[in-house]
Amino acid sequence: MADESLNPWKIAQAQLDHAAEILQLEQSVHALLREPMREMHVTLGVRMDDGSTQIFKGFRVQHNDSRGPTKGGIRFHPDETIDTVRALAMWMTWKCSVVNIPLGGAKGGVICNPKIMSPTELERLSREYIRQVGHILGLDKDVPAPDVFTNPQIMAWMADEFAVIKGHNEFGMITGKPIPLGGSAGRTDATSRGLSICAALAAQRLSMPLEGATVAVQGFGNVGRHAVEILSKEYGAKVIATSDVTGGIYNPNGLDYDDLARHADAHGGLLEGYADTHDGVSAISNEELLTLDVDVLAPCAIEGQLRADNAPDVRARLIVEGANGPTTPEADRIFHENGILVVPDILANAGGVTVSYFEMVQNSYGYYWDLETVHERLGRTMTDAFHHVYEMTDQFGVDPRMGAYLVAVARVAEAVHLRGRA
């Protein structure tokens, strides 16, 4: 039987409950925010390359649209569950609110293993998903984006299928698109860039220079790979460990991003075998990576990685969460007691949705910003959000995650009140 203490939906609801208690939210507002506004379960029949038809289960959950259209990624993952999608949708509501962009939260998912599917099979799956859920999507309704195991090409197929259904282009209905189809400059590494900005601001708070600081990054996918690149190349940090689904690698003298990228690109995006061909590099497990003696730990993989069983062994001074929900409430308490500063996911990884919002804005009026403009506006948004969160953290004497929740939930609750919804 699954451990309910690790159920991300139960965790998300418990986090809201705690914030509601501190904010003294009205019971009706609290009850409204505890549940998704809307959710769809769909069955997808997809023709495979061998001529057979495979059946997949998919979801789209819209948590709350009081502050604007809902927004959130689509994950293709073999272990996807409706509770995970519900939690991610709720976290997206708080994420959009904490960086003060006029959007609500949503999330989508399909239970599949994209690693064993061909490009043509992935295209058919992507198009079928849009055929099933497209009527609840749109620039003014709900806007998806890439997430775990999805990418700009998948977004392009989805945007095209939506255009076929509608009879006209509506590029703003999805973000994270390739640049030629209305994508935004700076979107690919936006989550990692926002994470790096937060890491630098948090390091200042600790009076710890980020330049030369040792860093371990769990995950070398959409977020982790670019975090390794930006932290090492732009901030001068020394990344000594990273990992993917095949395991981790460690070099106390630092890892070279360009070399890691070349290896991953030549091996299907994976780091497998890297330690065997590089002097000074050791193979470690993902669990070992989390407890390395480093200044900064950036969990950028999946939820539930830092738990009560391993949190006491974490030696980092600073944790910056690139993944959604990597830390359980029990681990949070341990970190708070041990004086480890955590930059929570709804703040640390909000750079992605921020630049997705910028992409929607650019799509809306058909004028596109240069990279310098995107970086400048992202930096300003993330910096303002960071300071608001830590002001609230200090004011209420809570841990930073609850500080972020207090900022975010208060803004959504105000919108609910103003609209007369509860």
Q: Give the model's pLDDT for residue 5.
A: 67
Is pLDDT of 67 > 70? yes
84 and 160 within one domain: yes
Identify whether residues 197 and 338 lie together within a single domain.
yes
> Do residue 206 and residue 330 come from a single domain?
yes
Residue 309 near residue 317, CB atoms below 8 Å:
no
Provide the percentage of residues in the chain whose pLDDT is more than 70.
Answer: 99
pLDDT at residue number 422: 83
pLDDT tens digits for range 313-334: 999 999 999 998 899 888 999 9
Identify whether 360 is part of a domain: no
Taking all residues of the chain, what is their mean pLDDT, rounded to a whole number? 94
Q: How far apart are CA 234 and CA 215, in angstroms?
A: 14
Residues 332 and 221 in one domain: yes
pLDDT at residue 3 above 90? no
Q: Which two tokens stand for residue 377?
A: 């506006």
Q: Are 214 and 328 contained in the same domain? A: yes
Residue 400: inside a domain: no
Average pLDDT, stretch 403-412? 97
Measured CA angle at 303 (ends 300, 309), to 5 deg: 105
Do 56 and 196 reside in the same domain of the chain?
no
| Cβ neighbours for 96, distance < 8 A, ≥ 6 positions apart | 67, 68, 71, 102, 103, 104, 105, 350, 353, 357
Q: How confident is the model at residue 1 (pLDDT cuts 50, 70, 90)?
A: very low
Q: Residue 174: which pLDDT band, with cuts at 50, 70 and 90?
A: very high
Number of domains in the chain: 2
Q: What sign results for the dihedral spanned by CA atoms 37, 385, 237, 339?
A: negative
Average pLDDT, integer, range 207-220: 95
* The domain boundary residue, chosen from 348, 368, 399: 348
Judge if 194 and 340 occupy the same domain: yes
Comparing CA positions, the residue from 379, 336, 339, 342 lying closest to residue 358 is: 379
| CA nearest to 73, candidates 55, 95, 54, 43 | 95
The answer to whether residue 143 is domain-embedded is yes
pLDDT (mean) for 396-416: 95
Domain that holds residue 287: 190-348
Give per-residue pLDDT as tens, 357-400: 999 999 999 999 999 999 999 999 999 999 999 999 999 999 89
Question: Averaged over 249-266, what is the pLDDT?
Answer: 94
Within this chain, do residues 120 and 240 fall inside the same structural domain, yes or no? no
Tokens 């090492």 locate to: 232
Q: Exposed, middle or buried, 160 (CB in 10 Å: 0-12/13-18/19+)?
A: middle
Residue 381 within any structural domain of the chain = no
pLDDT over 70 at 10, yes or no: yes
Distance CA 318, CA 306 (A): 13
Question: For residue 14, what are the β-bridge partners?
Answer: none
Residues 143 and 217 in one domain: no
Tell whether the model's pLDDT for residue 289 goes beyond 50: yes
In a domain, 310, yes or no: yes
* Stretch 227-252: mean pLDDT: 94
- Each residue's pLDDT tens digit, 85-94: 999 999 999 9
Percent of the chain, pLDDT > 90? 87
Q: What is the pLDDT of residues 129-168, one digit of tens each?
A: 999 999 999 999 999 999 888 999 999 999 999 999 999 9
The answer to whether residue 202 sits within a structural domain is yes
Give the range among 105-109, 247-251, 303-307 with minimum mean pLDDT: 303-307
- The CATH number given to whatever domain includes residue 324 is 3.40.50.720
Domain identity same for 197 and 130:
no
**pTM exceeding 0.85:** yes
- Average pLDDT of span 9-24: 94
Query: Among residues 137, 172, 207, which one ends one of the domains?
Result: 172
Whether 195 has a pLDDT exceeding 70, the answer reads: yes
CATH number at residue 113: 3.40.50.10860
Instruction: Tell me which residues are annotated as active site.
Output: 107
Averaged pLDDT, 122-128: 98
pLDDT at 2 over 60: no
- Residue whose entry in the numeric block shows the structure tokens 């189809």: 181
pLDDT average, residue stretch 23-28 = 96
Same structural domain, 199 and 337 = yes
Domain end point (choices 311, 331, 348) = 348
Domain presence at residue 391: no
Same domain (yes/no): 245, 344:
yes
Cα 17 to Cα 167, 327, 345, 392, 402: the distances in Å are 44, 17, 18, 17, 11
